[in-house]
Amino acid sequence: MFRTLKAYRLQSTKLKTVAVSQYKALTLTRRWTEKEIASCVWGLPTASLVRGQNSNCFPFGSASFNGSLEAPNMTRKEWWCPQSMTYGFLGFSYPMEGECYDDSFDRINADLQRQKRDFGASLIRVYLPYCYTTYIWESLIKAAVANDMGVVAQVAWPLNGDPKIATSIIEILSNSTYKDVAPYMFHSIEFGTEPIGDQDDGDNFINDLVNFKAAVRPYGIPVGISEDWDRPGIMCSNYTAGQAPGLGPTGKQILPQSDFVHAHIMPYYHGYNISGSWNYISEQVHWYKNYTPVPLVISETQWAWELNVLHQGSKDIDTPQYTTFWKTYDENCQFFKKNNVGWFLHAWKWEGTFNMVTPNGSYAIPNWKPQKC
Protein backbone atom coordinates (compact mmCIF):
# COMPACT_ATOMS: atom_id res chain seq x y z
CA MET A 1 0.00 0.00 0.00
CA PHE A 2 2.86 2.42 0.91
CA ARG A 3 5.76 2.55 -1.54
CA THR A 4 8.24 3.96 0.96
CA LEU A 5 8.74 3.91 4.72
CA LYS A 6 8.59 7.70 4.66
CA ALA A 7 5.10 7.67 3.08
CA TYR A 8 3.91 5.20 5.70
CA ARG A 9 5.21 7.35 8.56
CA LEU A 10 3.63 10.49 7.06
CA GLN A 11 0.22 8.81 6.79
CA SER A 12 0.51 7.45 10.32
CA THR A 13 1.30 10.92 11.66
CA LYS A 14 -1.74 12.37 9.93
CA LEU A 15 -4.05 9.73 11.43
CA LYS A 16 -2.70 10.32 14.93
CA THR A 17 -3.17 14.10 14.52
CA VAL A 18 -6.83 13.59 13.54
CA ALA A 19 -7.42 11.25 16.47
CA VAL A 20 -5.90 13.68 18.98
CA SER A 21 -7.94 16.57 17.57
CA GLN A 22 -11.17 14.58 17.92
CA TYR A 23 -10.26 13.58 21.45
CA LYS A 24 -9.63 17.21 22.46
CA ALA A 25 -12.88 18.35 20.88
CA LEU A 26 -14.82 15.78 22.87
CA THR A 27 -13.24 16.55 26.19
CA LEU A 28 -13.78 20.29 25.79
CA THR A 29 -17.55 19.98 25.29
CA ARG A 30 -18.44 17.66 28.17
CA ARG A 31 -17.15 14.79 30.23
CA TRP A 32 -17.41 11.78 27.94
CA THR A 33 -17.19 8.14 28.87
CA GLU A 34 -14.20 6.10 27.78
CA LYS A 35 -16.49 4.02 25.55
CA GLU A 36 -17.82 7.10 23.72
CA ILE A 37 -14.32 8.52 23.20
CA ALA A 38 -12.99 5.23 21.88
CA SER A 39 -15.95 4.83 19.55
CA CYS A 40 -15.62 8.29 18.05
CA VAL A 41 -11.84 8.39 17.74
CA TRP A 42 -11.33 4.95 16.30
CA GLY A 43 -14.60 4.69 14.35
CA LEU A 44 -15.77 1.60 16.26
CA PRO A 45 -19.49 1.02 16.97
CA THR A 46 -20.51 0.97 20.62
CA ALA A 47 -21.63 -2.43 21.91
CA SER A 48 -25.38 -3.01 21.78
CA LEU A 49 -27.06 -2.73 25.14
CA VAL A 50 -27.97 -5.78 27.14
CA ARG A 51 -31.74 -6.02 27.58
CA GLY A 52 -32.94 -3.59 30.23
CA GLN A 53 -29.61 -1.81 30.57
CA ASN A 54 -30.05 1.90 31.37
CA SER A 55 -33.84 1.48 31.30
CA ASN A 56 -36.30 2.29 34.06
CA CYS A 57 -39.20 0.19 32.74
CA PHE A 58 -40.76 -3.04 34.05
CA PRO A 59 -39.85 -5.90 34.27
CA PHE A 60 -36.52 -5.83 32.38
CA GLY A 61 -35.33 -2.43 33.61
CA SER A 62 -35.02 -0.88 37.05
CA ALA A 63 -38.72 -0.14 37.68
CA SER A 64 -39.94 -1.66 40.95
CA PHE A 65 -43.17 -1.99 42.88
CA ASN A 66 -41.06 -1.59 46.03
CA GLY A 67 -43.37 -4.07 47.67
CA SER A 68 -46.41 -1.81 47.25
CA LEU A 69 -49.76 -3.09 46.00
CA GLU A 70 -50.64 0.43 44.89
CA ALA A 71 -50.64 1.21 41.18
CA PRO A 72 -47.50 3.02 39.97
CA ASN A 73 -47.92 6.74 39.34
CA MET A 74 -47.73 6.47 35.56
CA THR A 75 -49.66 4.94 32.68
CA ARG A 76 -49.49 1.24 31.94
CA LYS A 77 -47.70 2.01 28.69
CA GLU A 78 -45.07 4.04 30.53
CA TRP A 79 -44.63 1.28 33.12
CA TRP A 80 -44.10 -1.73 30.89
CA CYS A 81 -40.88 -2.22 28.90
CA PRO A 82 -41.45 -2.00 25.15
CA GLN A 83 -41.90 -5.03 22.94
CA SER A 84 -38.40 -4.44 21.57
CA MET A 85 -37.01 -5.72 24.91
CA THR A 86 -39.18 -8.83 25.01
CA TYR A 87 -36.68 -11.34 23.69
CA GLY A 88 -34.57 -14.21 24.99
CA PHE A 89 -35.32 -16.07 28.20
CA LEU A 90 -38.37 -14.63 29.97
CA GLY A 91 -39.17 -17.19 32.65
CA PHE A 92 -41.05 -20.42 33.23
CA SER A 93 -44.39 -21.95 32.42
CA TYR A 94 -45.97 -22.30 35.84
CA PRO A 95 -48.64 -25.02 36.09
CA MET A 96 -51.42 -24.31 38.59
CA GLU A 97 -53.47 -27.46 38.21
CA GLY A 98 -54.23 -28.09 41.87
CA GLU A 99 -57.16 -27.04 44.02
CA CYS A 100 -57.52 -23.37 44.88
CA TYR A 101 -55.73 -23.43 48.21
CA ASP A 102 -52.85 -25.49 46.83
CA ASP A 103 -51.68 -22.30 45.11
CA SER A 104 -51.13 -20.18 48.19
CA PHE A 105 -49.18 -16.94 48.33
CA ASP A 106 -46.42 -18.64 50.34
CA ARG A 107 -45.87 -21.37 47.76
CA ILE A 108 -46.03 -19.06 44.75
CA ASN A 109 -43.78 -16.51 46.43
CA ALA A 110 -41.15 -19.14 47.25
CA ASP A 111 -41.18 -20.40 43.65
CA LEU A 112 -40.88 -16.92 42.17
CA GLN A 113 -37.99 -16.13 44.48
CA ARG A 114 -36.12 -19.19 43.19
CA GLN A 115 -36.95 -18.47 39.54
CA LYS A 116 -35.67 -14.91 39.77
CA ARG A 117 -32.64 -15.62 41.95
CA ASP A 118 -31.39 -18.80 40.28
CA PHE A 119 -32.45 -18.24 36.65
CA GLY A 120 -32.96 -14.50 36.23
CA ALA A 121 -36.67 -14.87 35.35
CA SER A 122 -38.62 -11.66 34.72
CA LEU A 123 -42.06 -13.16 34.00
CA ILE A 124 -44.04 -16.28 34.72
CA ARG A 125 -46.58 -17.83 32.39
CA VAL A 126 -49.53 -19.33 34.23
CA TYR A 127 -50.40 -22.74 32.81
CA LEU A 128 -53.70 -24.58 33.17
CA PRO A 129 -55.09 -22.77 36.24
CA TYR A 130 -57.70 -25.02 37.79
CA CYS A 131 -59.09 -22.65 40.40
CA TYR A 132 -62.17 -20.72 39.22
CA THR A 133 -62.18 -18.06 41.91
CA THR A 134 -60.10 -14.89 42.30
CA TYR A 135 -58.00 -16.56 45.02
CA ILE A 136 -55.12 -17.65 42.76
CA TRP A 137 -54.97 -14.28 41.01
CA GLU A 138 -54.81 -12.49 44.36
CA SER A 139 -51.97 -14.81 45.45
CA LEU A 140 -50.19 -14.31 42.13
CA ILE A 141 -50.47 -10.53 42.26
CA LYS A 142 -49.06 -10.37 45.78
CA ALA A 143 -46.18 -12.73 44.95
CA ALA A 144 -45.40 -11.04 41.63
CA VAL A 145 -45.32 -7.60 43.27
CA ALA A 146 -43.09 -8.91 46.06
CA ASN A 147 -40.62 -10.24 43.47
CA ASP A 148 -41.00 -7.54 40.81
CA MET A 149 -42.10 -10.04 38.19
CA GLY A 150 -44.80 -9.84 35.55
CA VAL A 151 -47.47 -12.48 34.93
CA VAL A 152 -48.89 -13.93 31.73
CA ALA A 153 -52.37 -15.01 32.80
CA GLN A 154 -54.31 -17.78 31.09
CA VAL A 155 -57.90 -18.76 30.52
CA ALA A 156 -57.95 -22.55 30.59
CA TRP A 157 -60.78 -24.86 29.66
CA PRO A 158 -61.58 -27.37 32.42
CA LEU A 159 -62.69 -30.87 31.61
CA ASN A 160 -66.35 -29.83 31.73
CA GLY A 161 -65.71 -27.33 28.94
CA ASP A 162 -66.81 -24.21 30.86
CA PRO A 163 -64.08 -21.51 31.00
CA LYS A 164 -65.14 -20.06 34.35
CA ILE A 165 -61.59 -18.86 34.86
CA ALA A 166 -62.35 -16.04 32.39
CA THR A 167 -64.92 -14.65 34.83
CA SER A 168 -62.42 -14.62 37.69
CA ILE A 169 -59.89 -12.66 35.61
CA ILE A 170 -62.48 -10.03 34.72
CA GLU A 171 -63.47 -9.87 38.39
CA ILE A 172 -59.88 -9.30 39.55
CA LEU A 173 -59.52 -6.47 37.02
CA SER A 174 -62.82 -4.75 37.63
CA ASN A 175 -63.96 -5.32 41.19
CA SER A 176 -61.26 -6.41 43.59
CA THR A 177 -58.82 -5.02 46.11
CA TYR A 178 -56.08 -5.34 43.49
CA LYS A 179 -57.91 -3.96 40.47
CA ASP A 180 -55.74 -0.85 40.21
CA VAL A 181 -52.40 -2.63 40.34
CA ALA A 182 -53.42 -5.68 38.27
CA PRO A 183 -52.83 -4.12 34.80
CA TYR A 184 -49.30 -3.21 35.90
CA MET A 185 -48.63 -6.82 36.86
CA PHE A 186 -50.46 -8.71 34.06
CA HIS A 187 -48.25 -8.65 30.99
CA SER A 188 -50.84 -10.33 28.77
CA ILE A 189 -53.63 -12.90 28.86
CA GLU A 190 -53.74 -16.13 26.88
CA PHE A 191 -57.30 -17.08 25.95
CA GLY A 192 -56.68 -20.80 26.04
CA THR A 193 -53.68 -23.07 25.65
CA GLU A 194 -53.94 -25.03 22.40
CA PRO A 195 -57.66 -24.22 22.21
CA ILE A 196 -57.72 -25.01 18.48
CA GLY A 197 -55.82 -28.26 18.75
CA ASP A 198 -57.99 -29.37 21.67
CA GLN A 199 -61.18 -27.99 20.07
CA ASP A 200 -62.04 -26.02 23.19
CA ASP A 201 -65.39 -24.27 23.00
CA GLY A 202 -66.16 -25.70 19.55
CA ASP A 203 -67.72 -23.30 17.05
CA ASN A 204 -68.15 -20.62 19.75
CA PHE A 205 -64.43 -20.14 20.32
CA ILE A 206 -63.71 -17.16 18.08
CA ASN A 207 -66.84 -15.32 19.27
CA ASP A 208 -65.83 -15.92 22.87
CA LEU A 209 -62.29 -14.73 22.13
CA VAL A 210 -63.68 -11.52 20.63
CA ASN A 211 -65.96 -10.96 23.62
CA PHE A 212 -63.21 -11.62 26.17
CA LYS A 213 -60.85 -9.29 24.37
CA ALA A 214 -63.50 -6.56 24.42
CA ALA A 215 -64.01 -7.05 28.16
CA VAL A 216 -60.27 -6.70 28.84
CA ARG A 217 -59.69 -3.78 26.45
CA PRO A 218 -60.41 -1.03 29.04
CA TYR A 219 -57.46 -2.29 31.10
CA GLY A 220 -54.98 -2.15 28.20
CA ILE A 221 -53.85 -5.78 28.58
CA PRO A 222 -53.06 -7.62 25.32
CA VAL A 223 -55.06 -10.77 24.55
CA GLY A 224 -54.34 -13.66 22.21
CA ILE A 225 -54.15 -17.43 22.25
CA SER A 226 -51.34 -19.85 23.12
CA GLU A 227 -51.23 -22.38 20.32
CA ASP A 228 -49.20 -24.57 17.97
CA TRP A 229 -49.73 -23.03 14.52
CA ASP A 230 -47.95 -25.92 12.81
CA ARG A 231 -51.29 -27.58 12.14
CA PRO A 232 -51.54 -28.02 8.35
CA GLY A 233 -54.95 -27.29 6.89
CA ILE A 234 -56.03 -25.54 10.09
CA MET A 235 -53.66 -22.95 11.53
CA CYS A 236 -51.28 -23.08 8.57
CA SER A 237 -51.94 -24.15 5.00
CA ASN A 238 -51.23 -27.67 3.78
CA TYR A 239 -47.62 -28.41 2.95
CA THR A 240 -46.56 -28.30 -0.69
CA ALA A 241 -43.16 -29.65 -1.69
CA GLY A 242 -40.65 -26.83 -2.01
CA GLN A 243 -42.96 -24.18 -0.57
CA ALA A 244 -43.40 -22.80 2.92
CA PRO A 245 -47.01 -23.01 4.12
CA GLY A 246 -48.98 -19.83 4.67
CA LEU A 247 -51.86 -19.21 7.05
CA GLY A 248 -54.58 -21.83 7.17
CA PRO A 249 -58.32 -21.10 7.32
CA THR A 250 -58.53 -21.01 11.12
CA GLY A 251 -55.26 -19.11 11.38
CA LYS A 252 -56.71 -16.43 9.11
CA GLN A 253 -59.66 -16.07 11.50
CA ILE A 254 -57.59 -16.04 14.68
CA LEU A 255 -54.84 -13.62 13.64
CA PRO A 256 -57.05 -10.49 13.29
CA GLN A 257 -58.32 -11.07 16.83
CA SER A 258 -54.81 -11.45 18.29
CA ASP A 259 -52.79 -8.72 19.98
CA PHE A 260 -49.90 -11.19 20.03
CA VAL A 261 -48.97 -14.73 19.10
CA HIS A 262 -47.85 -17.00 21.91
CA ALA A 263 -46.47 -19.91 19.93
CA HIS A 264 -46.01 -23.54 20.85
CA ILE A 265 -42.86 -24.53 18.96
CA MET A 266 -42.47 -28.15 19.94
CA PRO A 267 -39.98 -30.35 18.10
CA TYR A 268 -40.49 -32.88 20.90
CA TYR A 269 -44.04 -33.52 19.65
CA HIS A 270 -43.24 -33.16 15.95
CA GLY A 271 -41.03 -36.23 15.65
CA TYR A 272 -37.57 -34.67 15.98
CA ASN A 273 -34.49 -35.95 17.72
CA ILE A 274 -32.39 -33.48 19.65
CA SER A 275 -29.99 -33.06 16.72
CA GLY A 276 -32.74 -31.70 14.49
CA SER A 277 -34.62 -29.69 17.09
CA TRP A 278 -32.90 -26.31 16.61
CA ASN A 279 -33.43 -26.28 12.84
CA TYR A 280 -37.13 -26.83 13.43
CA ILE A 281 -37.28 -24.09 16.07
CA SER A 282 -35.46 -21.51 13.96
CA GLU A 283 -37.52 -22.32 10.86
CA GLN A 284 -40.71 -21.96 12.87
CA VAL A 285 -39.59 -18.59 14.23
CA HIS A 286 -39.04 -17.37 10.67
CA TRP A 287 -42.46 -18.70 9.65
CA TYR A 288 -44.22 -16.86 12.46
CA LYS A 289 -42.31 -13.66 11.72
CA ASN A 290 -43.40 -13.87 8.07
CA TYR A 291 -47.05 -14.80 8.55
CA THR A 292 -48.09 -13.48 11.96
CA PRO A 293 -46.94 -9.83 12.09
CA VAL A 294 -47.73 -9.24 15.77
CA PRO A 295 -45.52 -9.54 18.89
CA LEU A 296 -44.23 -13.10 19.18
CA VAL A 297 -43.31 -15.16 22.23
CA ILE A 298 -42.55 -18.88 22.37
CA SER A 299 -44.85 -19.69 25.25
CA GLU A 300 -44.47 -23.45 25.22
CA THR A 301 -41.50 -25.55 24.19
CA GLN A 302 -40.16 -28.58 26.00
CA TRP A 303 -37.91 -31.61 26.21
CA ALA A 304 -37.85 -34.52 28.66
CA TRP A 305 -34.95 -35.73 30.80
CA GLU A 306 -36.58 -39.16 31.19
CA LEU A 307 -39.67 -40.94 29.83
CA ASN A 308 -42.62 -38.63 30.45
CA VAL A 309 -45.44 -41.10 30.84
CA LEU A 310 -48.27 -38.57 30.49
CA HIS A 311 -46.56 -36.51 27.78
CA GLN A 312 -44.82 -38.88 25.39
CA GLY A 313 -43.14 -37.53 22.27
CA SER A 314 -39.57 -37.85 21.02
CA LYS A 315 -37.73 -41.02 22.04
CA ASP A 316 -34.40 -39.15 22.07
CA ILE A 317 -34.62 -38.30 25.76
CA ASP A 318 -32.23 -38.22 28.71
CA THR A 319 -30.54 -35.62 30.87
CA PRO A 320 -27.84 -34.81 28.24
CA GLN A 321 -30.47 -34.20 25.56
CA TYR A 322 -32.56 -32.09 27.94
CA THR A 323 -29.49 -30.04 28.81
CA THR A 324 -28.53 -29.63 25.15
CA PHE A 325 -32.04 -28.50 24.25
CA TRP A 326 -32.18 -25.66 26.76
CA LYS A 327 -28.56 -24.60 26.43
CA THR A 328 -29.08 -24.36 22.66
CA TYR A 329 -31.92 -21.92 23.28
CA ASP A 330 -29.63 -19.97 25.56
CA GLU A 331 -26.66 -19.99 23.16
CA ASN A 332 -28.89 -18.47 20.48
CA CYS A 333 -29.73 -15.37 22.52
CA GLN A 334 -28.56 -13.12 19.67
CA PHE A 335 -30.90 -14.93 17.27
CA PHE A 336 -33.84 -14.19 19.56
CA LYS A 337 -32.68 -10.60 20.02
CA LYS A 338 -32.42 -10.07 16.25
CA ASN A 339 -35.90 -11.52 15.71
CA ASN A 340 -37.41 -9.92 18.84
CA VAL A 341 -38.72 -13.22 20.20
CA GLY A 342 -38.92 -14.21 23.87
CA TRP A 343 -39.26 -17.73 25.22
CA PHE A 344 -40.54 -19.52 28.30
CA LEU A 345 -39.13 -22.76 29.64
CA HIS A 346 -41.87 -25.37 30.00
CA ALA A 347 -42.07 -26.14 32.85
CA TRP A 348 -41.11 -25.28 36.41
CA LYS A 349 -42.88 -28.14 38.21
CA TRP A 350 -45.82 -30.53 37.92
CA GLU A 351 -45.29 -31.57 34.29
CA GLY A 352 -43.33 -34.76 34.91
CA THR A 353 -39.90 -34.94 33.31
CA PHE A 354 -40.34 -31.64 31.49
CA ASN A 355 -39.73 -30.03 34.88
CA MET A 356 -36.67 -28.00 35.74
CA VAL A 357 -37.30 -28.80 39.41
CA THR A 358 -36.74 -32.51 40.07
CA PRO A 359 -38.59 -34.54 42.73
CA ASN A 360 -35.82 -33.96 45.27
CA GLY A 361 -35.95 -30.19 44.77
CA SER A 362 -32.72 -29.89 42.79
CA TYR A 363 -32.51 -28.60 39.24
CA ALA A 364 -32.40 -30.83 36.17
CA ILE A 365 -29.65 -28.52 34.85
CA PRO A 366 -27.56 -27.53 37.87
CA ASN A 367 -25.58 -24.30 38.03
CA TRP A 368 -27.16 -22.85 34.89
CA LYS A 369 -28.54 -19.35 34.50
CA PRO A 370 -29.69 -18.22 31.03
CA GLN A 371 -27.75 -15.29 29.69
CA LYS A 372 -29.01 -11.79 29.01
CA CYS A 373 -27.97 -10.20 25.76
Q: Which fold has domain 76-354?
A: TIM Barrel (3.20.20)
Q: Is the model more confident about 307 or about 22?
A: 307
pLDDT of 158: 78
Q: Is the pLDDT of residue 302 over 80?
A: yes
pLDDT of 98: 87
Q: What is the mean pLDDT of residues 346-367?
A: 98
Q: What pTM was estimated for this model as a whole? A: 0.87
Lowest mean pLDDT among 21-30, 50-59, 196-205, 236-245: 21-30
CB 145 within 8 A of CB 69: yes
Q: Is the model more confident about 172 or about 41?
A: 172
pLDDT tens-digit map of 16-53: 443 444 434 433 334 434 333 233 333 333 346 899 99
Quick check: helix, strand or coil at residue 155?
A: strand
pLDDT of 35: 39
pLDDT of 99: 87
CB 90 within 8 A of CB 341: no
Query: φ and ψ at 342, to 5 degrees?
Result: -100, 165
pLDDT tens-digit map of 182-197: 999 999 999 999 999 9
Q: What is the mean pLDDT of residues 116-142?
A: 96
Q: Is the pLDDT of residue 174 over 80?
A: yes
Give the pLDDT band (50/70/90) at residue 157.
confident
Q: Is the pLDDT of residue 12 over 50?
A: no
pLDDT tens-digit map of 252-292: 999 999 999 999 999 999 999 999 999 999 999 999 999 99
Q: Are strands 123-127 and 296-300 parallel, antiparallel or unpaired?
A: unpaired
Give the pLDDT band (50/70/90) at residue 159.
low
Q: Is the pLDDT of residue 141 over 60?
A: yes
Q: What is the mean pLDDT of residues 331-349?
A: 98
CA–CA gap between residue 80 and residue 115 (Å, rounded): 20
Spans of all domains in the chain? 5-42, 76-354
pLDDT of 160: 63
Q: What is the mean pLDDT of the chain?
A: 89
Q: Is the dihedral of CA 184, 95, 168, 295 positive or negative?
A: positive
pLDDT of 64: 98
Quick check: helix, strand or coil at residue 12?
A: helix
Strand intervals (E) in 120-247 = 123-127, 150-155, 186-193, 223-227
CB 357 within 8 A of CB 349: yes
